[in-house]
């Protein structure tokens, strides 16, 4: 009995030893970047409108730093700010509006001063081919036109209100959507004739919608701040990621998605 058990234990030790040896043997093959201390887990909370760009940038960042695993949490900026202030574990926060960043900074959860890394501008999203021939905000007030804009409580709605006021256009929308994707969906489904959305959203849905630029949107540009958080479990990787987003490779991905440089 005892002999059998001993043999089992010995076998297990042998297996572990082999694993340990192969593990050690692997080490010299590890990429040179392992020495820069950027590895482990990195959690990034980012605004929903950054989903496509940050997923790409995240993949590039991971391949530049072997041994690093990046996890994203994409949601509305206000929901993310609330989660961070309630103690959700995150290393980096990228917000679609300075107001939501301010609540995180005010709660003492930002390790550094937030920096603006991109800007986003409103366009008029219309069905593909622009059947109604919309050229500007004034076209949206035609009697039969059905228009969706975001509710003023969310950043895209605040920007829309600013742009409409700047243009002096009295627009009565049929709905005040809870987020920019909601407004965009209504155009894609053909339920409204136009919606005010970000240029990046219109570009991401280029198969179904066209984005019509209008001059008044210049007065309602949305700044996107990014920051490393106080409770970051991996501050080294967090700082490197913020740098990566602001450097040329990150900038190129963001510009291709329709964002503007700050």
Residue ranges that bind another protein, judged by CB under 8 A: 76, 78, 82, 146, 148, 151, 153-154, 173-178, 182, 185-186, 189-191
CB of 159 to another protein, least distance (A): 14
Q: Tokens standing for 212?
A: 């019509």
What CA–CA distance (Å, rounded) separates 227 from 186?
33
- Which is nearer to another protein, 196 or 257 (by Cβ)? 196
CB of 176 to another protein, least distance (A): 5
- Which is nearer to another protein, 37 or 190 (by Cβ)? 190
CB of 153 to another protein, least distance (A): 4
Whether 222 contacts 97, CB under 8 Å = yes
- Which is nearer to another protein, 134 or 187 (by Cβ)? 187
Angle at 58 between CA 50 and CA 91, to 5 degrees: 80
Helix 51-64 with 235-246: angle, nearest 10 deg:
120
- Which is nearer to another protein, 124 or 150 (by Cβ)? 150
What CA–CA distance (Å, rounded) separates 84 from 106?
12
CB of 186 to another protein, least distance (A): 7
- Which is nearer to another protein, 174 or 247 (by Cβ)? 174
Whether 56 contacts 76, CB under 8 Å = no
What CA–CA distance (Å, rounded) separates 191 from 194?
9
Angle at 113 between CA 110 and CA 115, to 5 degrees: 110
The SS3 of residue 100 is helix
The SS3 of residue 111 is coil
- Which is nearer to another protein, 46 or 187 (by Cβ)? 187
CB of 178 to another protein, least distance (A): 6
- Which is nearer to another protein, 4 or 172 (by Cβ)? 172
CB of 177 to another protein, least distance (A): 7
What CA–CA distance (Å, rounded) separates 145 from 59?
42
Residues whose CB falls within 8 Å of the CB of residue 143, separated by 6 or more in sequence, listed in order: none
Pick from 135, 155, 132, 112: nearest CA to 243: 112
What CA–CA distance (Å, rounded) separates 26 from 64?
19
CB of 45 to another protein, least distance (A): 16
């Amino acid at each position: 009995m005892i002999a059998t058990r001993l043999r089992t234990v010995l076998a297990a030790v042998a297996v572990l030893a082999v694993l340990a040896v192969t593990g050690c043997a692997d080490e010299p093959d590890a990429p040179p970047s392992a020495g820069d201390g950027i590895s482990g887990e990195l959690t990034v909370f980012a605004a929903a409108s950054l989903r496509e760009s940050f997923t790409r940038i995240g993949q590039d960042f991971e391949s530049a730093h072997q041994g690093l695993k990046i996890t994203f949490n994409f949601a509305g900026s206000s929901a993310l700010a609330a989660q961070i202030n309630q103690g959700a574990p995150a290393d980096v926060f990228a917000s679609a509006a300075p107001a939501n960043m301010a609540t995180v900074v005010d709660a003492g959860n930002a390790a550094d001063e937030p920096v603006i890394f991109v800007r986003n501008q409103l366009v008029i999203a219309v069905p593909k081919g622009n059947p109604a021939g919309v050229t500007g905000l004034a076209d949206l007030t035609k009697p039969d036109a059905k228009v969706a804009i975001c509710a003023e409580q969310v950043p895209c709605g605040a920007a829309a209100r600013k742009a409409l006021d700047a243009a002096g256009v009295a627009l009565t929308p049929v709905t005040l959507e809870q987020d920019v994707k909601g407004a965009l969906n209504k155009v894609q489904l053909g339920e409204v004739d136009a919606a005010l959305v970000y240029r990046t959203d219109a570009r991401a849905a280029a198969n179904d919608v066209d984005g019509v630029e209008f001059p008044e949107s210049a007065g309602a540009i949305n700044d996107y701040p990014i920051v490393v958080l106080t409770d970051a479990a991996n501050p080294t990787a967090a700082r490197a990621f913020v740098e990566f987003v602001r450097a040329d490779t990150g900038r190129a991905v963001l510009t291709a998605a329709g964002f503007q440089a700050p």
